[in-house]
């Protein structure tokens, strides 16, 4: 019995000194495993006399129960200690400032914002969006639009041409979104009411011009479309886009191969104070070109100019963005400067609407 007392003291001491669950498992195996010290003693009960079993049986079973309870208690203590250590190592300092969410740090580029504004305004007038490829044929970009052979716009210093094909045809980067007008008229029955935003390309680069820029054009083809309709559409657009109640517009005679008559459009503005304020003052600023669609263009699209007529206009998206939001240099639009986009960009959820404001 003295040996059992010694064994009990050793096992319980080992259990108490185990500082990890892995060490505690080693103690359990050494005591209660298949070849553990207590297990080996339990095997000797079969060779004892009945009188010895009456004494040793209860003593061994009692020791086994005591060791099992001690192991369970120590395991619970170690588990709690491990949890406390994990919580301490993974704690969060709730006094730290919150990180900005992606919706706070991300910004919508002014060009994308203005395209959304254009879409909202013209959609309310019944216009849909038309799109086309950036790489066009000479026929769609010039010929079908009534550009004569030898026109300066066809020269290399104005247009980005690709190398000629074997048949002599030369593709080009479109110089305006007008080829989409041709595609629309050839593939859609009138009445037609579309706006065409997109990228365009010309050999030009300075403070207010870049080799690639964005343009939006509008086209209306119907049996009764007239210049009064065009004037109303442009006035309503300018009032909504520049967010002014009233605006004066001046239509000056001009020339474009694809419209007749053709007009340059100026808007009322005030240039005093180092900024341009649209809709007030006594100054004028040119913002777009427009006119009635030339009969030759209508005829080139397979329509009868004696039955259908229409009007069209075009303006630079980058240019009107600069006017509205006070940006002085067009080249900064394409510099990918994070500081610039943080200053001039728009929050992703600030969607332009006619009832909520274009730039709310």
Binding site: residue ranges? 260
How many Cβ atoms from other residues are within 10 Å of residue 76's Cβ? 10
- Which residues are annotated as part of the binding site for Mg(2+)? 260
CB 292 within 8 A of CB 271: no
The C-alpha atoms of residue 223 and residue 298 are separated, in whole angstroms, by: 12
Q: What kind and span of H or E run contains 322?
A: helix 317-325
How many whole angstroms from its chain centre is CA 144? 36
Token reading at 273? 């104070």
**Which H or E run contains 316?**
strand 309-316
Would you call 357 helix, strand, or coil by DSSP?
strand
Q: 38 and 31 in contact (C-beta within 8 Å)?
A: yes
β-pair partners for 215: 198, 316
Are the C-beta atoms of 209 and 136 separated by less than 8 Å? Answer: no
Q: Are 212 and 200 in contact (CB under 8 A)?
A: yes
Measuring CA to CA, how many Å separate 160 from each of 136, 173, 201? 11, 6, 7
Scan for tokens 């913002």, then name that residue: 287
Structure-token pair, residue 218: 């509008």
């Amino acid at each position: 019995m003295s040996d059992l007392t010694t064994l009990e003291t050793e096992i319980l001491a080992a259990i108490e000194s185990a500082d990890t669950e892995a060490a505690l498992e080693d103690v359990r195996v050494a005591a209660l495993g298949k070849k553990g010290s207590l297990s080996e003693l339990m095997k000797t009960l079969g060779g004892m006399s009945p009188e010895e079993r009456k004494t040793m049986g209860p003593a061994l079973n009692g020791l086994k129960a005591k060791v099992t309870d001690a192991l369970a208690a120590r395991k619970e203590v170690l588990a709690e200690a491990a949890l406390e250590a994990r919580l301490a190592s993974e704690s969060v300092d709730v006094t730290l400032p919150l990180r900005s969410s992606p919706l706070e740090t991300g910004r919508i580029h002014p060009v994308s914002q203005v395209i959304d504004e254009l879409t909202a305004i013209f959609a309310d007038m019944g216009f849909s969006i038309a799109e086309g490829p950036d790489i066009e044929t000479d026929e769609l970009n010039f010929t079908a639009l009534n550009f004569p052979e030898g026109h300066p716009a066809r020269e290399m210093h104005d247009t980005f041409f690709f190398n000629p094909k074997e048949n002599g045809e030369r593709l080009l980067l479109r110089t305006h979104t007008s080829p989409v007008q041709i595609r629309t008229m050839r593939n859609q029955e009138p009445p037609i009411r579309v706006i065409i935003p997109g990228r365009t390309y010309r050999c030009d680069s300075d403070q207010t011009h870049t080799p690639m820029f964005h343009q939006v054009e509008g086209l209306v083809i119907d049996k009764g479309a007239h210049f009064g309709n065009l004037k109303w559409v442009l006035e309503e657009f300018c009032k909504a886009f520049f967010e002014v109640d009233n605006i004066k517009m001046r239509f000056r005679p001009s020339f474009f191969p694809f419209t007749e008559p053709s007009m340059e459009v100026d808007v009322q503005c005030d240039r005093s104070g180092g900024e341009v304020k649209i809709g007030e003052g006594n100054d004028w600023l040119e913002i777009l070109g427009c006119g009635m669609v030339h009969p030759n263009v209508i005829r080139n699209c397979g329509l009868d100019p004696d039955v259908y007529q229409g009007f069209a206009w075009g303006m630079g998206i980058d240019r009107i963005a600069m006017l509205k939001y006070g940006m002085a240099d067009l080249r900064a639009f394409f510099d990918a400067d994070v500081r610039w986009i943080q200053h001039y960009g728009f929050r992703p959820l600030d969607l332009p609407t006619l009832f909520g404001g274009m730039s709310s």
